[in-house]
């Protein structure tokens, strides 16, 4: 009866979990000693003293503060696994939107067997550095299809630059790769004016471009991308989708190459 009461008490249940974790994690002597105290309380005929139990928990954590770090690591690992599983479902359900949206630019082999999708912002410093990863990967792998998904999250300049970018893509998709490299790889902040300058240098007609920038489907595409990113737990750039995995951050071409090979093996 007393044991049932003990397990039903939130604080004590938490204490037992932490003490057990401490034993497994490498503090067996301290865990055994403090667990014995709790067992003694649970086995007695007297009413459980909440203050006494909380004191045991406090003393144990003060003696073994590393347990809190281990618990935090375990929590993060659990959350990452839950996030991975959730992403699998999103990728399955939104496969066409992720990999084959008509608004996304494509570099590398348009018919490649393996696709990597990058969520990027033209004013993201990490994205600017990661452009070399894209170039190296597409050069090294002739069977790689690299999709560029506009994800302007760094303010109005980024949003306006992406409107120009998407308008240019609608007009001249065959030159989108050149546009992307020039704007993302250029010096200074990407703005509407800077993006228009790049577009004109590649042969776009300014009047036609400005008219295309008003296309309501561009705003719709942004809305869909923001919603998709939210479902995939993507909050920063660059982020990637490779096969059935979401990869966060500019991790370098070696890591991305490993993810690509894993995606190939899963085909």
Residue 44: the pLDDT is 52
Sign of the CA dihedral 6, 9, 11, 15?
positive
71 token code pair? 């618990």
| Rg of the chain over all Cα atoms, to the nearest angstrom | 27
Please say whether the beta carbons of 208 and 171 come within 8 A: yes
Q: Is 149 left (phi over 0), alpha (psi -120 to 50) or beta?
A: beta
- As a whole number of angstroms, the distance between CA 233 and CA 221 comes to 18
DSSP string of 157-206, one letter each residue? HHHHHHHHHHHHHHH-GGGHHHHHHHHHTSSS---HHHHHHHHHHTT--H
Residue 37 and residue 30: Cα distance in Å, rounded? 11
The predicted structure's pLDDT at residue 46:
57
Task: Give pLDDT, residue 1.
Answer: 41
Q: Which residues of the chain register pLDDT less than 50?
A: 1-33, 35, 38-39
pTM: 0.72
Domains in the chain: boundaries: 91-154+213-265
Architecture of domain 91-154+213-265: 3-Layer(aba) Sandwich (3.40)
State how far the Cα of 94 lies from the Cα of 207, in Å rounded to an integer. 35
Residues 6 or more apart from 19 whose CB is under 8 A from it? 31, 34, 35, 38, 60
Which position has the token pair 């667990």? 35
What pLDDT score was predicted for residue 36? 52
């Amino acid at each position: 009866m007393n044991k049932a009461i003990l397990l039903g008490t939130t604080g004590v249940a938490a204490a037992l979990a932490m003490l057990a974790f401490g034993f497994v994690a490498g503090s067996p002597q301290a865990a055994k000693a403090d667990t014995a105290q709790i067992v003694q309380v649970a086995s007695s005929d007297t009413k459980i003293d909440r203050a006494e139990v909380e004191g045991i928990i406090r003393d144990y954590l003060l003696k073994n503060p590393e347990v809190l770090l281990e618990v935090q690591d375990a929590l993060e690992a659990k959350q990452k696994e839950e996030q991975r599983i959730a992403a699998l479902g999103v990728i399955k359900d939104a496969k066409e939107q992720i990999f084959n949206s008509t608004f996304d630019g494509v570099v590398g082999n348009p018919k490649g067997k393996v696709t990597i999708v990058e969520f990027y912002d033209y004013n993201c410093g990490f994205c600017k550095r990661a452009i070399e990863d894209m170039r190296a990967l597409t050069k090294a792998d002739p069977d790689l299809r690299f999709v560029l998904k506009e994800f302007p999250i760094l303010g109005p300049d980024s949003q306006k630059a992406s409107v120009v970018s998407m308008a240019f893509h609608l007009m001249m998709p065959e030159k989108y790769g050149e546009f992307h490299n020039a704007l993302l790889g250029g010096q200074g902040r990407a703005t509407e004016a800077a993006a228009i300058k790049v577009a004109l240098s590649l042969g776009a007609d300014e009047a036609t471009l400005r008219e295309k920038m008003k296309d309501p489907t561009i705003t719709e595409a942004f809305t869909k991308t923001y919603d998709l990113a939210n479902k995939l737990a993507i909050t920063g750039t660059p982020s990637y989708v490779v096969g059935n995995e979401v990869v966060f951050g500019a991790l370098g071409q070696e890591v991305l190459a490993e993810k690509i090979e894993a995606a190939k093996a899963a085909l």
